[in-house]
Amino acid sequence: MKHSGSSAFNIHKEGLMPQEEMLEVGNRHKQLKIGVPSEDHSIESRVPLTPEAVEILTGHGHEVFLEAGAGKAANYQDTDYSEKGGVICERRQEVFSGCDILLKIVPPTLEEIGWVKERQTLISSFHVFTHCEEKYIRSLMQKRVTAIAFEKIQDEHNCYPAVRSMSAIAGTTSILIAAEYLSNVRGGKGVMLGGVTGITPTEVVILGAGTAAEYAVRAALGVGSDVKVFDNSIHRLRRLQAAVGQMVSTSIFHPKVILKAMRSADVVIGAIRHEENQSSYFISEEMVREMKKGSVIIDISIDRGGCIETSELRSQVDPVFVKHGVIHYCVPNIPSRVARTASIAISNVFAPLIIGMGELGDLGKHFKENVGLRHGVYVYKGILTNDAIGSRLGIPSKDMDLLMAAF
């Protein structure tokens, strides 16, 4: 666009000479409307934005619409949001239909997708093992939305900030849960997690050596437990031991070694992912049979199918079952137990992300320039871009990077 009032040529004594084109530099910042509907608080207590994050976003010129009661389960009142510039909506449909970006923790239901407007951007969790249904994906495609799984978003260091923060919380909280179910209060065998002088400390077996496992190790060591960590990667084991010190025992998954550890364990924390193409579990049902009665299993990786054969997907309403005399806790959203802490952590991821979207002035440009955000996209403007989902459901998918070249 030429600058108003300018000419493409300068008058020169020898004739017309071409002049440099003056391009108008406008403000690229775009004011975004962000919608935060309330979750089903019986299964999810977290909220994607805290009042402080809302204040930051409104300070950047954006509008934030929240359904009444959206933060209640995390002990945030509507007035906490309205005092920071948030707009409280009584009807859920208003939040869905009146925004550019929809923020949720749990993926929207089919009914909620019906309220979504076309070409909207949806940011929520999405796990292939628990949420992948053909009707659901096709409904998103028909709406031509851009759907982003926040657990797949990468930062500039190629890390997954949402996953790391939630994993750290889940790892620490899993040890606190284990302490609950070992105690008499929850019908356990009345054992204190940890150790005191003159009494043999409890034994904690942790499967995996990632972020969740590391924080579980730190929490278990902190109360004085004897900790053993198993993983199928020497590199990850070495990295974990360097981070937490020599007080923890580490081993690869050797059948005889893991069986011996399972027989004496008071607590087993499953913090290693069961991959989609993996045919067997890390801990078989026969190994669980060998465990002490009243011991506790907490399968953090249940959202990806679990890593223990006896695990069954449960919710916060009914989180526990007993199998072979062993207490099982298999809930996918453990951070929801500490909803306020988890909400602050995830809000710290969302707020800068949205600010970055607004600064470019065009969401399409943001997807082109932000490779980490692009990594989380599984539907782009109605086109499926996740090959794993496509293969699972028999729906053709396209490469996201190739789409970016076309749009």
Active site residues: 127
Tokens found for residue 356: 């970055």
Whole-number Cα distances in Å, 111 to 39, 54, 88, 116: 13, 27, 21, 9
Task: Check: CB of residue 128 under 8 Å from CB of residue 275.
Answer: no
* Residues contacting 131, CB < 8 A, separation 6+: 107, 125
Tokens found for residue 180: 């609950």
Whole-number Cα distances in Å, 361 to 62, 95, 133, 354, 402: 12, 22, 34, 11, 22
Task: Check: CB of residue 86 under 8 Å from CB of residue 35.
Answer: no
Q: What angle do CA 91, 97, 98 make, to 5 degrees?
A: 90
The two most distant CA atoms of the chain are separated, in Å, by 103
d(C-alpha 244, C-alpha 255), whole Å: 25
DSSP at 299: E
Dihedral of the CA atoms 269, 273, 277, 280 (nearest 10)?
A: -10
| AA letter at 16 | L
Strand arrangement of the beta sheet that strand 296-299 belongs to: 249-251, 226-230, 203-207, 267-270, 296-299, 326-329, 320-323
Q: Of 352, 382, 342, 363, nearest to 101 (Cα)?
A: 363
d(C-alpha 126, C-alpha 147), whole Å: 9
* Residues contacting 199, CB < 8 A, separation 6+: none
Task: Check: CB of residue 165 under 8 Å from CB of residue 345.
Answer: yes
Tokens found for residue 42: 């019986």
Q: Of 328, 325, 291, 330, nearest to 314 (Cα)?
A: 330
